[in-house]
Structure formats: structure tokens, C-alpha cells
Amino acid sequence: MKTVYVVTMWSGGRPAKKWKADAPPEVLANGTGISFTNIATRLRVTVVGSISVEEYESGKEEMEMSFSSPIDPEPPSNIERLY
């Protein structure tokens, strides 16, 4: 299982933008925002203002993937190994 952090920027009481991070966000030195690395782009993001951070355990997808596909599948009978 893997921990995923969802960072939400709020505007007018509504969520304006969401990001996912695989490490806990760092609070900025002046205390008005956070900085983190976005999972999708691998870019460093700094957000200032009204922010919320939620922590989730990501594992359901990984478990489903491991159960649905075997680690060493048998090749079809019409394929011959060359090595």
C-alpha cells in the first residue's frame, strides 16, 4: 500500500484545482502555503492561499492489478520462445 496526498486549492468555498503528491507537502517558510511534487508531471508545485491536504492509502488499484494479471504468464501455444 502506498500513501497518496491530495492537495486541493479552494476559491470562493469551492475546489478550484486538485493535485496528487506521493510525499507529504512541505509548509513554506512564511507559513502561507505549501510546496510539493505533482505525481502526474513530476514538477514542483507551490500553492499559496486556501489549501487543504488529504491523506489516502492507495492500494486498491495495485491489489486489483496483481490479482488480475499473473507475474509469469504462460505464452499462448502458437508462440515459440527464441531464447
Q: Which residues contact 54 (CB under 8 A, 6 or more apart)?
A: 5, 6, 8
Q: Is the pLDDT of residue 74 over 80?
A: no
Q: Are 22 and 42 in contact (CB under 8 A)?
A: no
Give the tens place of pLDDT for each residue, 22-73.
999 999 999 999 999 999 999 999 999 999 999 988 666 555 555 555 555 6
1 against 56, higher pLDDT: 56
Confidence (pLDDT) at 81 = 63
pTM over cut 0.85 = no
Rounded CA gap, 60 and 1, in Å?
8
